[in-house]
Chain A
């Protein structure tokens, strides 16, 4: 049986751990609200953008003159996986579930004989994938210095990806991120951004025939790169909200576990204290009887 002093120290340390996790939970809750707000604020843009793009893509998509970003390079031998994770840990399964999804996808592609390249955004994803896919890394984007995510961050990432695409480094790009559903549910998601696919978005259903200024092709060529940036921006924001949500529920769990542990240790402490007292009494009584 551990002695009283040890137990007391243990209880104290669990108590301070609980204080920390509790504080982290509250910070995450506050950040979550902000992250959710900005994710929601960005939604109208993305929705409208995709609706217009879907309409345009449907009318131009089939022709040979369609831009490469829409049509693809004609082959799908080289895949770029853009794995977007958080810069910090202690957020439950958030980072690892994204990394796992990417790892499975990479394995699947490799079995098909494709070349896989990996671009990581966020330190944690890089750490998680370093062992299995380390030799496939082509780059890393660090967002740890970024205080508040803006569209320009997404534009920079998109610019990097697009210049690689123009350089013929890959044929297909897929982004991995976590979609925010609610605090307890985040869905790791893979989304193909190059060539752009609009299968899941509904086109503009107003049925109006639009005039295009300048031409349809010119607009499409102008908008496709922006489409990549938009997709990345929404992914970043979804990720931000998911990260805070995941951290909040992870820290909530940790706080509860710490509480349970404190209760258990306190009972153990009291029992041993009583045992010590009883022992002392027995010693005194048996001493008195011996006289």
Chain B
């Protein structure tokens, strides 16, 4: 059994990481999950959160918002709408994200579709939790 797998993190604007990793922790839509080599093939959407990559050379963390991950036997590709290395995340990044989430929450409340309101509220909560998590 291979003990590393190919990990790719790409955003629409550029490819952020392409390396071999031993484990990757993902913020899946239905809950966090960790993908390791020979994981069952899975496609999952992501909620905003922190993605942790563990590689032989050391681990790294990324802030991702939205997108999805595709896991197959020998690799993992994460296609995130926005992805920023955690070291580069600043309070203002986060404020932007929270503001965006809040705006969509407000917009959703004006409509009458309850699921959209719930989704937006969840997004907002996710964003705020992120801030606390990173103690910014």
Contact = CB atoms under 8 A, between A and B. Distances in A.
Interface residues of B, number: 27
Given A151-B13, A212-B44, A219-B45, A48 B79 contact: yes
B110 to A, nearest CB: 14
Contacts, number: 80
B90 interface: no
B15 to A, nearest CB: 5
Interface stretch (A39-47, A188-196, A263-271): A39-47
Nearest to B66: A226
A277 B81 CA distance: 75
Contacts of A62: none
B81 A41 contact: no
Interface in B76-94: 77, 79, 81-82
Nearest to B73: A208
Contacts of A210: 41-43, 70, 72
B55 interface: no
Interface string A51-63: 0100010000000
B81 A226 contact: yes
A25 interface: no
B15 A41 contact: yes
B73 A44 contact: no
Given A45-B11, A150-B13, A211 B41 contact: yes
Contact of B79 (A49, A211, A214): A49
A214 B72 contact: no
Contacts of A56: 43
A223 interface: yes
A213 B12 contact: no
Contacts of A46: 12
Interface in B12-37: 12-15, 28-30, 33
Given A208-B72, A219-B68, A214 B45 contact: yes
Q: Interface centre among A56, A150, A208, A213, by most B CB within 10 Å? A: A213
Interface string A199-225: 000000010111111100011001100
A38 interface: yes
Contacts of B28: 213
Interface range, A side: 20 to 34
B28 to A, nearest CB: 6
A230 interface: yes
B40 interface: yes
29 contacts: A38-B13, A41-B13, A42-B13, A44-B8, A44-B15, A45-B10, A45-B12, A45-B79, A46-B12, A48-B8, A48-B79, A49-B79, A151-B13, A151-B82, A206-B41, A210-B41, A213-B29, A213-B30, A213-B43, A213-B45, A214-B29, A214-B44, A219-B43, A219-B68, A222-B45, A222-B68, A223-B45, A230-B12, A233-B12
Contacts of A223: 45, 68
Contacts of B66: 226
B88 to A, nearest CB: 16
A222 B66 CA distance: 10
Contacts of B8: 44, 48
B87 to A, nearest CB: 21
Contacts of A154: 12
Given A211-B41, A213-B42, 9 more contacts: A45-B15, A49-B79, A151-B11, A151-B13, A206-B72, A208-B41, A214-B30, A219-B43, A226-B67
B10 A48 contact: yes
Closest 8 CB pairs of A and B: A213-B44, A208-B41, A41-B14, A151-B12, A211-B42, A210-B41, A45-B10, A210-B43
